[in-house]
Amino acid sequence: MIGLLGINHKTCSLEIREKYSFTNQEIIEFSELLYQETNISDIVILSTCNRTEIYFSQDLYDRQMAFEQVYNTLNLFKSILEHHWHAFYHKSNVEAVTHLFEVASGLDSMILGEDQIIGQIKEAYLFCTKAALTDDILMRLFQKSFEAGKRVRSETGIKLGNTSISSAAVELCNKYMGGLAQKSLLIVGAGDTSTLALQNFKNKAVKNITITNRTLSNAQTLANNYKAKVLEFDNFQSQLHLFDIVCVATHSKDYLIKAEDVTKSAQHSANKQQIFIDLSVPRNIDESISQFENIQLICVDDLEAVVQITAEKRQECIEQATVIIQKVQTEFSEWLASRSLRPAIKTITSVLQSVHNKELKLNKKYDSIETQNAVEEYAEHLTQRYTGLLIKNLKELTNNGKDIDSLKIVDNLFKLD
């Protein structure tokens, strides 16, 4: 069974999503606890600002029990006592496969067709694979998801308009300020989301850019690429008043900018209008700063208006994308079904070969070497011929492995002593 337990921006608020976000280190720790509690060992966890999704492969439990086991272990790991079962979606097999392909293609994103998600899926898959957390089913599944995502983006017009949360945030910021060319910008963080935001600000002709990051060398590398300045991370909060726009995108679990930081900064800014953009989950900016005069706070859940405009432009591409996804999903399902035939094919081959060897051994007692060789050659021919015929009939009878009940009958039929 392929299973998916997840939450996203459609099913719950940012307040709940941030409780279930994962760092890479937490993925390793959770996988160890999950195996300890359930014996489920094959997982990929996708954790972004808009979703946390746990994909798993298992044959130990029925569908409902599997989801309950993963959900209970998740709450145990996160030390969450509240009941959020209603916020999670639970998908298995074809539904889970289709959902992943839709996510990879940008159909399930806050911004229809967003580009950033495909890179995030690849990072999640590669991390879990390198950590030996994926079996061959999950490996094949995610590789096909990359194919689906690539084809949808190249064969449809789904990339028109804003294609990431970062670009939508910059677009909204531009609207609030009536142009960004003369504005000063502070980027806090040097990861993929920060880089995308920086690229979008550059596209709006922003030139006065400063970058700060906990690891100074990463900030310096990013700054060199975009001709930006670098600010020491320690106590960067004391410099907030120098910037018109502050954009934060890190993996910190705590507020990096608190209400008192903004209050102190305001004492130096003389009624200066500022925009704070928080692209982090969990949030890195205290949401209470939105109550301050001359302060505008933009979080990931505030981008719905920009999203709606983009979605309207791309709706006509959904039907084309769905056709592509169905084709790739069918290819994966065929592979998965044929994979289930392998034990039966191995059993048929083994049983016929065993009968072949046993009968030849009995024949050797009575015939000459020449006769034995002739009989052996003919018996080998018959064995191969009937093996091929039975395997062909097996595929037809079980619809290439999809008919599980027929497959079980064949398995029982060839369990000969």
Instruction: Give pLDDT tens digits for 96-138.
Output: 999 999 999 999 987 778 888 999 999 999 999 999 999 999 9
Residues 198 and 53 both lie in one domain: no
Position 397 scores a pLDDT of 63
Mapped onto helix, strand or coil, the DSSP state of residue 62 is coil
Residues 278 and 214 both lie in one domain: yes
Residues 153 and 214 both lie in one domain: no
Report the chain's mean pLDDT, rounded to a whole number.
Answer: 86
- The reply to whether 333 falls in a domain is no
Residues 180 and 226 both lie in one domain: yes
- The reply to whether 318 falls in a domain is no
Position 159 scores a pLDDT of 72
pLDDT higher at 401 or 302: 302
pLDDT tens string 176-222: 999 999 999 999 999 888 998 999 999 999 999 999 999 999 999 99
- The reply to whether 316 falls in a domain is no
- The reply to whether 383 falls in a domain is no
Residues acting as catalytic residues: 49
Res. 146 pLDDT band, cuts 50 70 90: very high
Q: How many CA atoms lie within 13 A of 31 on its CB side?
A: 23
- The reply to whether 396 falls in a domain is no
Q: Which of 241-245, 275-279, 399-403 has the lowest mean pLDDT?
A: 399-403
Mapped onto helix, strand or coil, the DSSP state of residue 154 is helix
Tokens describing residue 27: 């993925």
- Residue ranges making up the domain that contains 107: 2-161
The percent of the chain in helix, strand and coil, each rounded to the nearest 5, is: 60, 10, 30
Position 235 scores a pLDDT of 86
Number of independent structural domains in the chain: 2
Residues 33 and 136 both lie in one domain: yes
For the sheet with 2-8, list strands across it: 42-47, 51-57, 2-8, 89-92
Tokens describing residue 332: 């994966």
Q: Which helix (H) or strand (E) holds 155?
A: helix 136-155
Q: Which of 258, 278, 304 is the last residue of a domain?
A: 304
Position 163 scores a pLDDT of 61
The alpha-helical segments, DSSP class H, found in 10-93 are 14-17, 24-38, 63-78
pLDDT higher at 105 or 265: 105
pLDDT tens string 229-243: 999 999 899 999 999
Res. 334 pLDDT band, cuts 50 70 90: confident
Q: Which of 282, 304, 326 is the last residue of a domain?
A: 304
- The reply to whether 91 falls in a domain is yes
CA distances from 344 to 333, 336, 404 (A): 18, 14, 11
Average pLDDT over residues 401-415: 59
Average pLDDT over residues 372-377: 69
Distance of CA 399 to the CA centre of its chain: 31
Q: Is 292 left (phi over 0), alpha (psi -120 to 50) or beta?
A: beta
Residue 34 sits in a domain of what CATH number?
Answer: 3.30.460.30
pLDDT higher at 132 or 350: 132
Residues 80 and 100 both lie in one domain: yes
Instruction: Kindly tell me the burial class for residue 191, based on how many C-beta atoms sit within 10 Å of its own C-beta (0-12, 13-18, 19 or more).
Output: middle
- The reply to whether 340 falls in a domain is no
Residues 149 and 219 both lie in one domain: no
Q: What are the φ/ψ torsions at residue 5 (nearest 5 degrees)? A: -120, 120
Q: Which of 108, 126, 161 is the last residue of a domain?
A: 161
pLDDT higher at 272 or 99: 99
What is the Cα–Cα distance from 352 to 355, expressed in whole angstroms?
5
| 3-state per-residue secondary structure call for 79-95 | CCCCCCHHHCEEEECHH
Residues 92 and 119 both lie in one domain: yes
